[in-house]
Copies of this chain bind each other. A is one copy, B any other.
């Protein structure tokens, strides 16, 4: 998506250690019009899969997932990282390593909203090592759902995420594919 690439070139900051800061339009400040365009594009790319539900992880996956859900006319479930008191005692929970937090985080979904027979599309902000997304896939599988595809706004293709997901037979699309980045710049495929 050209609009997203331009924005990354204009405002993205390489922070070292493989971390790209896009806080001005994705991770802290959000550009709603950009998210809407991303949602339209994901709806186009994944429409043939006919998913029944979108699954994402709080926090930064919510905006692109809800935009996609609007354009596909399906609900969105966001995995929580802490169990709120409104959740039942029995939940679906997995542990996932967080690169930006440097520790394991919990991903929790209530079985009330993810169950057998759902056709799941996963949407997230980043695809890098794929570990968070693998956590979401495992939650969906425990629930008896089938994961069909994975969409990410930004992919770091120098990490192994896509390979892991394609080996599971999933359709993978990202809207900006970063081949390399360093203090001199960001390079797309």
Contact = CB atoms under 8 A, between A and B. Distances in A.
Interface in A1-55: 15, 19, 21, 23-25, 27-33, 35-36
A77 to B, nearest CB: 5
A176 B13 CA distance: 41
A35 B28 CA distance: 20
A113 interface: yes
Nearest to A17: B85
A15 B59 contact: no
B77 A29 contact: yes
Given A19-B85, A78-B59, A84-B100, A113 B24 contact: yes
Interface string A65-82: 011011001111110100
Contact of A110 (B28, B35, B59): B28
Q: Is the interface of A mostly helix, strand, loop or mixed?
A: mixed
Per assembly, the copies of the chain total 2
A30 B100 contact: no
Contact of A69 (B27, B30, B74, B75): B30
Residue from A21, A31, A84, A110 having most chain B Cβ neighbours under 10 A: A84
Interface of A: 15, 19, 21, 23-25, 27-33, 35-36, 58-59, 62-63, 66-67, 69-70, 73-78, 80, 84-87, 100-101, 109-110, 112-113
**Leading 8 A-B pairs by shortest Cβ distance:** A32-B69, A32-B70, A29-B113, A21-B86, A30-B76, A62-B62, A58-B59, A29-B77
7 contacts: A28-B77, A28-B80, A28-B110, A29-B75, A30-B77, A31-B75, A32-B75
